[in-house]
Amino acid sequence: MSTKIIYTAIILRPEYQERLQKLAPAYEFRHPENPLSEVELSQVEIMLGWDPEVGNQILALENHSLKWIQANSAGVDYLDLTELRKQGILLSNMSGIHAIPIAESVLAMLLARYRGIQASIRSQEKNEWLAFEHVPYDELNGKKMLIIGPGKIGQRLALIVQGLGVNVSGMSRSGRQLEHFDVGYSQETLQHYLGDFDIIVNILPLTNETHHYYNETFFNQVKPGASFINVGRGPSVDTNALIRALESQQLSFAGLDVFEEEPLADDSPLWQMENVLITPHISGLVRHFQKLVSEIYSENLKSYLATQDLARNQVDLTSGY
């Protein structure tokens, strides 16, 4: 009988590796420091985390054993979902583990903008005391926020900012009402209300439908002087349209953690704009990442071995999330 292999794309700490091996004693575990031969590539049944070099080699084989990929991220737009669907491969993600850090990152961006923190940092770098009349300041209390993509991250953010007196609405495909949201809009109805919001936060996954969702038409419909935060996916925003909206003050502020091309080019106008706050794709960094990842690995591995199905975070390969 041929060897059955589980390939882990990250090297887990011993205690987490041992937990998985106890759950699947019939499988051989391999990782990047223990390379696979051509024959062994065809024997990989499960990939915990996505290693593009190994994964693409497996998918290109005429006969392989791959049945399930567990991504280490919430977004899975870097995978060929059409090919996975064609080959009948299960896919799951890490949805949920990034909710707290990303929500806190959005709050940090907004406080930097509304409480004069960003301007103060710039003055400190120049050894300048910024007189209060030159400090751009406002309050989050009473602002109206729209979260586009109100999943687990959006729900956590809504919970936090509601406590600060922010009125929170969400936009989803269905317009369903969710806990911590005052109002839920569908994509069709939102265009009639887009001009009502002081703050717009993008947490959409990247799909064919959401590519350049935030374009010139969108930005022209928002409330003049609104703030825009992007912690979703870079290509959902038309960068040139965003720059024009910032230059014209149609948007008064943008907090950007993700970009169409990463790293952001050093000649991008965004670097020099005083109404832009840039972070280098760090909003989703998670403390105790391996612990959280291994919990989802273990739960889904148990389910897969028992039923050939997944208990948590299975991705719809048609919708992309």
- Catalytic center residues: 233, 262, 281
Phi, psi of 200 (to 5 degrees): -125, 125
Q: Which of 315, 317, 318 is nearest to 151 (CA)?
A: 315
Compute CA 134 distance to the chain's CA centroid, rounded to the nearest angstrom. Answer: 35
Bin 175: left if φ > 0, else alpha if -120 < ψ < 50, else beta.
left
Compute CA 73 distance to the chain's CA centroid, rounded to the nearest angstrom. Answer: 8
For residue 153, give both structure tokens: 């991250």
Q: Residue 61 CB: number of other CB atoms within 10 A?
A: 13
For residue 290, give both structure tokens: 């391996």
Burial annotation 109-126 (CB, 10 A radius, 16+ → b, else e): bbebbbbbbbbeeebeee
Task: Report the alpha-carbon distance of residue 233 to residue 243 in Å, rounded.
Answer: 17
Cis peptide before 136 (omega within 30 of 0): no
* In the block, residue with structure tokens 């041929």: 2
Taking each helix axis from N to C end, the angle separating 14-23 and 289-307, rounded to the nearest 10 degrees, works out to 10
